Structure 1
Amino acid sequence: MSTFATGNLNQYIQFVERVYRTAQGNILARLLSLRDEHVLNRNLRSSDIASLVDGNCIAPLDEMITAHLLCVKALNMKDYMEAYEQQSACVAAVVRLLQSQKEENWSLPLMYSTCLDLRLVAQKAEECNPQSNGKILEKAAESLLACFRVCAADNRSSDADTKRLGMLNLVNQLLKIYFRINKLHLCKPLIRAIDSSPFKDEFSLAQQITYRYFVGRKAMFDSDYQVANQYLSYAFENCHRKSTKNKKLILTYLVPVKMLLGYMPTKQLLQKYDLLQFWDLVSVVKNGDLRGIDKVMEEHESFFIRAGIYLIVEKLKIIAYRNLFKKVYLVENTHQIDIASFQAALQIMGQEDVDSEETQCIVANLIYDGKIKGYISYQHKKVVVSKQNAFPPLTSI
């Protein structure tokens, strides 16, 4: 139920101030949220909001109310840049409020709400101003960082009223922005701040799931697949079973990470979350079918690109090379295999232009990655593999 779906502007201002003076953070957050029903109340869209608010309530609450109502007005007129500017002013006033509250954190819900609104309005402004090229969202991130710095500076290590309990919510908002504008290097100090926080186990489960999802994705792009597996697995296992959409989103990144580590998903799991694009990959990777991988990549190209995993999925070729070369090893039944045998296998699988040097390079990479135990005898143009466990299980590497 809305906190103020009806009533005039003066009543709204008085109500907001009463809630503020009685430190009701959750209600105040709703009264200044762009997602609450009160934004549909036409009575709050006065032609002279600033003069009506000014003098009727204390600072910085007056600035928050003015900026919030002007933002609502701008959104109603579909002026998204103006809405963004007003929401930025609202968050700036929230920063001043947080700085003035030395021994309390009841206003954290207000910070969460206004910062979320700022990100969403900035996204809308970006969509309407494509020439911005991420600059609006980057500027919004600076506003969120101002809140983050206030929270991080609260040094009370064991106090339930510390503002540091609000850090993870802000970090998650910032991670969403940095992923959207492709500035992942800016995530590193935020991740370090959370991982070193004495409150990292006290944040809500929902916030921890979101955090691990983004950190897992960053680890995946950094080719740190063990860490990516750890974080994304936590996010998937702890995500509510009814949140099918979120579980599917997590799996979109967890599945290729698992496959790169040698764990192949079941068809039942992929069917359940409508991710059968990966099932087409599983069989061709297992069989070392390089031509098949190219076909699957082409068929589902738009899905892989849209998810931002095309280059990650392409790395599955290295697993396919390993599986193909293992077949050659089993057929040859010797620990000294001609490079020409591997080259012929590659050519049969559709890589007709591959030469001996390129084949040696592929084998060398597999040996370096620990996927083949052995060495290349360049003099004899042979691959000499270990007599024991020449192709270690991928899951043990």
Structure 2
Amino acid sequence: MEAMHTVALEIRLIAEKADRELATNGKNPDKLQAAGSFLMKVFGTLAVKGPKRIGALYVTCQLFKIYFRLGTVNLCRSVIRSIETARNFDFEDFPVKDKVTYMYYTGRLEVFNENFLVADQKLTYALMHCNPQSESNLRRILKFLIPVKLSIGVLPKRTLLERYSLLEYADVVTALKRGDLRLLRQALDRHEDQFLKSGVYLVLEKLELQVYQRLVKKIHIIQRQKEPAKAHQIKLDVVVKALKWLEIDMDVDEVECIMACLIYKNLIKGYFAHKSKVLVLSKQDPFPKLNGKPV
């Protein structure tokens, strides 16, 4: 089986090298695609009953690497179905290293599909079972797991970001804590290329709703200190002014739309008094926690 692993790996690596040379010479780089077709046949041979099927997951992981490199991740689905629905596969029988790689790539696929709860499960599995000495692999996993965790309301500690050189997320985390929309947008602008390349930009962009929730919560806390009796009544003008202080211009109607979205998404419990342009917060748990659920 070790020989098969070596052959599958070498086929991919040689094809990648050949494509680089073809591209340099202005020719069509089609060797990696051909390698994928060949390894798919190998997978079909291995995916039968018998001792050889234990190598199927390794070949699957090589296919994932090819499909991600080529940008044809949709082709992963047929392989995943074969692994996850076939009765002759018991996932726990596969080598740990292969299971970690498999969960990493399938977790990334779930991120792209915005299935954050499933992505969280898969990437967390990969992280928990990854070799703790392999910091580069841990970093690769965290690069996708952190945005997923942020989307379900779990904020990483700065020490984690520092340890794995993932400080591009530091200002995003700070923005969520402060309710600072300006800081979030600045962080996304500053690291836009990096986030786009990773495929997590849209995930991070959707964190704006959580930032708005935090901003309203801060206004509520300040108002509770000044006027306890009216703490649950927040004038939309106050939100407009807070945003203006953050150098973000919005009118009352725009803010009302955002507040309506927060209520709809259950990030805020309350209702509008439209005539007076006031957000009336529930007196019980006005700012529900995500509790591991995506917005």
Give the TM-score category using the shorter length. Answer: 0.7 to 0.9
CA distance in 1 between partners of 2:60 and 2:272 (Å): 48
Instruction: Note closer, same or farther for the CA distance 1:170–1:336 as it changes in structure 2 (3 Å cut).
Output: same
Tell me what 1:393 maps to: 289
Equivalent residue for 1:195, pick from 62, 84, 101: 84
Tell me what 1:137 maps to: 32
Look up the equivalent residue of 2:75 and give its one-letter code.
Answer: L
Deviation at 1:358, TM superposition (A): 2.7
Query: Is 1:118 matched with 2:14?
Result: no
Tell me what 2:252 maps to: 356
What is the DSSP-based 3-state SS (H/G/I as helix, E as strand, rest coil) of the residue aligned with 1:129? helix
CA distance in 2 between partners of 1:172 and 1:163 (Å): 16
Query: Is 1:147 matched with 2:38?
Result: no
Instruction: Note closer, same or farther for the CA distance 1:137–1:350 as it changes in structure 2 (3 Å cut).
Output: farther
- How high is the TM-score relative to the length of structure 1? 0.65
Instruction: Note closer, same or farther for the CA distance 1:189–1:372 as it changes in structure 2 (3 Å cut).
Output: farther
Question: How many equivalent pairs are there?
Answer: 283
Equivalent residue for 1:311, pick from 187, 198, 202: 202
CA distance in 1 between partners of 2:287 and 2:28 (Å): 47
Instruction: Note closer, same or farther for the CA distance 1:315–1:163 as it changes in structure 2 (3 Å cut).
Output: same
Query: Does the 8 A contact of 2:112 with 2:199 survive in 1?
Result: no
Matches within 5 A, 1:96-115: 110=4, 112-115=5-8
Query: Does the 8 A contact of 1:290 with 1:350 survive in 2?
Result: no
Tell me what 1:210 maps to: 101
- How high is the TM-score relative to the length of structure 2? 0.85
Deviation at 1:255, TM superposition (A): 1.3
Query: Is 1:331 matched with 2:222?
Result: yes
Instruction: Note closer, same or farther for the CA distance 1:133–1:254 as it changes in structure 2 (3 Å cut).
Output: farther
- Deviation string, structure 1 residues 4-52 (Cα, Å, up to 9, x no partner): xxxxxxxxxxxxxxxxxxxxx54xx2xxxxxxxxxxxxxxxxxxxxxxx
| Unaligned runs of at least 5 residues, structure 1 | 1-24, 30-109
Tell me what 2:280 maps to: 384
CA distance in 1 between partners of 2:169 and 2:81 (Å): 33
| Unaligned runs of at least 5 residues, structure 2 | 225-230
CA distance in 2 between partners of 1:384 and 1:134 (Å): 61
Look up the equivalent residue of 2:37 and give its one-letter code.
Answer: E
Moved over 6 A (4+): 131-134
CA distance in 1 between partners of 2:264 and 2:72 (Å): 31
- Deviation string, structure 1 residues 62-120 (Cα, Å, up to 9, x no partner): xxxxxxxxxxxxxxxxxxxxxxxxxxxxxxxxxxxxxxxxxxxxxxxx2x322222221
- Deviation string, structure 1 residues 184-209 (Cα, Å, up to 9, x no partner): 22222222222224321100000000
Tell me what 2:268 maps to: 372
Query: Does the 8 A contact of 1:165 with 1:199 survive in 2?
Result: no
What is the DSSP-based 3-state SS (H/G/I as helix, E as strand, rest coil) of the residue aligned with 1:223? coil
- Deviation string, structure 1 residues 296-318 (Cα, Å, up to 9, x no partner): 23333343344332332222222
What is the DSSP-based 3-state SS (H/G/I as helix, E as strand, rest coil) of the residue aligned with 1:277? helix
CA distance in 2 between partners of 1:390 and 1:243 (Å): 43
Tell me what 1:51 maps to: none
- Deviation string, structure 1 residues 157-195 (Cα, Å, up to 9, x no partner): xxxx34332221121111112222222222222222222
Deviation at 1:250, TM superposition (A): 0.8
Largest Rg, 1 or 2: 1
Tell me what 2:59 maps to: 170
Query: Is 1:343 matched with 2:253?
Result: no
What is the DSSP-based 3-state SS (H/G/I as helix, E as strand, rest coil) of the residue aligned with 2:291? helix
CA distance in 1 between partners of 2:238 and 2:28 (Å): 50
Deviation at 1:242, TM superposition (A): 0.9
Instruction: Note closer, same or farther for the CA distance 1:375–1:309 as it changes in structure 2 (3 Å cut).
Output: same
